Amino acid sequence: MLTERIEAKWIACFAQTFSLCRIASGDTVAILSETQSREVNVRLAELALLQLGARVFHVRLPSPKIETNIPLRSTGASTAIGGLDPVVKALSSVHTVVDCTVEGLLHSKELPRILAGGARLMMISNEHPEILERLLPDQKLQSVVERAKQRLASAAQMTVTSAAGTNLRVDVRGAPVRGAAGYVDEPGKVAYWPGGLCLCFPKPGCVSGAVVLAPGDVNLTFKRYIESPVELIIEGDHVVEIRGKGLDADLMRSYYAAWDDRAAYGVSHVGWGLNPMARWEALAMYDKSQINGTELRAFAGNFLFSTGANEHAGRFTLGHFDLPMRNCSVALDGHLVVDSGNLCAQA
């Protein structure tokens, strides 16, 4: 059984990661957390930053009141700030924001304003420190991620197929491209640890086809491996039908319907994993309270299909699915970057 306490080795891991973010002595760093944050990660961040000589202060907010009876997990859109202008102003004026909120600010409404002030955002995923230790950011991975981002940014169409029946077409022209290797070293940018993936946010009207979740694929919202096939039919960027006879399909139908919100059915982002250190089977090794599942979004060769919030398509919703899939082939303008779940050299 893992425990959550301060370990010297974990302080060293956090310090190493923050050094890659070019945080140096005298830099002002805000640690953003909430009352339900994983406290050990907040403390590790503070101790590591002080070790580097940074000038550290905390912004700690009450975790928001539950506004729905629907359980929320892994939305990537923390609402802890709640639009508070003094908080946004404080965060936008620092060198780096270390984001230790439960869900993270990745899709939050306040993020653009924070970045516009010149701050960079380093999001610590809500994982047990052992997971962060195993997946320390690697500078060599950064060049891999950057090349993948360049290829995606210059492409016109992504196609995704699989032996299970996936046949998806995505117009990626002008779609904002994102990705990082687990650290951020430029103002106005975002990264998250663990990292190592490349993705884009399709614009409205750009996604159609079918996504077939096969046994062994992952539903990270539920933190479970798919055990029976689920087919998602997508028209005009939205899931319009969920086919399948097993428990997995029933759970997804129920959770989608619970939101009573068309935006929850919309495509959020699509991309592929690049991190050779990330492990597909990791979800089986930890209690649900210990893992957020960011590692499974990044394992090399997975196709990551997500629905829910997509600010670039004007959709904000708390209904969200992240679905890392194995054994898919991903092509950009007809050139494979992932071949049946294996990264191609040009990826």
Indicate whether 95 and 233 sit together in one domain.
Answer: no
Report if residue 290 sits inside a domain: yes
- pLDDT tens digit string along 52-108? 999 999 999 999 988 889 888 777 678 889 999 999 999 999 999 999 999 999 878
Indicate whether 233 and 95 sit together in one domain.
Answer: no
Among the listed residues 99, 100, 101, 74, the one whose alpha carbon sits nearest the alpha carbon of residue 291:
74
Instruction: Map residue 314 onto helix, strand or coil.
Output: coil
Indicate whether 320 and 232 sit together in one domain.
Answer: yes
Number of domains in the chain: 2
What is the model's pLDDT at position 311? 81
Show Cβ contacts of residue 171 under 8 Å, excluding neighbours closer than 6 positions.
156, 157, 202, 203, 205, 206, 207
Sequence-ordered alpha helix ranges (H) in the chain: 8-20, 39-51, 85-92, 111-116, 129-134, 139-154, 247-259, 294-298
- pLDDT tens digit string along 286-299? 999 999 999 999 99
Indicate whether 52 and 153 sit together in one domain.
Answer: no
Report if residue 185 sits inside a domain: no
What is the model's pLDDT at position 77? 78
Question: Alpha-carbon distance 56 to 47, whole Å?
Answer: 10
Report if residue 189 sits inside a domain: no
Does residue 194 have a cis peptide bond before it, meaning omega lies within 30 degrees of 0? yes
- pLDDT tens digit string along 232-263? 999 999 999 999 999 999 999 999 999 999 99
Indicate whether 77 and 211 sit together in one domain.
Answer: no
Question: Alpha-carbon distance 277 to 247, whole Å?
Answer: 31
CATH number, domain with residue 66? 3.40.50
Under the banding of pLDDT at 50, 70 and 90, the label for residue 346 is low
Range of the domain at 222: 139-178+195-343
Among the listed residues 135, 128, 184, 182, the one whose alpha carbon sits nearest the alpha carbon of residue 7:
128
Question: Alpha-carbon distance 56 to 69, whole Å?
Answer: 37
**Looking at the predicted structure, is the pLDDT value of residue 196 above 60?**
yes
Report if residue 188 sits inside a domain: no
Question: Alpha-carbon distance 310 to 138, whole Å?
Answer: 28
Among the listed residues 148, 170, 150, the one whose alpha carbon sits nearest the alpha carbon of residue 159:
170
Indicate whether 84 and 115 sit together in one domain.
Answer: yes
Indicate whether 72 and 130 sit together in one domain.
Answer: yes
Single-letter amino acid code for the residue at 44: L
Indicate whether 117 and 199 sit together in one domain.
Answer: no
Indicate whether 41 and 145 sit together in one domain.
Answer: no
Indicate whether 162 and 300 sit together in one domain.
Answer: yes
- pLDDT tens digit string along 11-62? 999 999 999 999 999 999 999 999 999 999 999 999 999 999 999 999 999 9
Report if residue 274 sits inside a domain: yes
Among the listed residues 219, 202, 211, 210, the one whose alpha carbon sits nearest the alpha carbon of residue 297:
219
What is the model's pLDDT at position 347? 57
Indicate whether 100 and 155 sit together in one domain.
Answer: no
Single-letter amino acid code for the residue at 118: G
Report if residue 119 sits inside a domain: yes
Give the CA angle between residues 48, 102, 144 to the nearest 5°: 65
- The angle, 0 to 180 degrees and rounded to 10, between the axes of the packed helices 39-51 and 8-20 is 60
206 versus 312: the higher-pLDDT residue is 206
Q: What global pTM score does this model have?
A: 0.93
DSSP state string for 126-154:
S--HHHHHHT---HHHHHHHHHHHHHHHH
Report if residue 317 sits inside a domain: yes
Report if residue 187 sits inside a domain: no
Indicate whether 202 and 120 sit together in one domain.
Answer: no
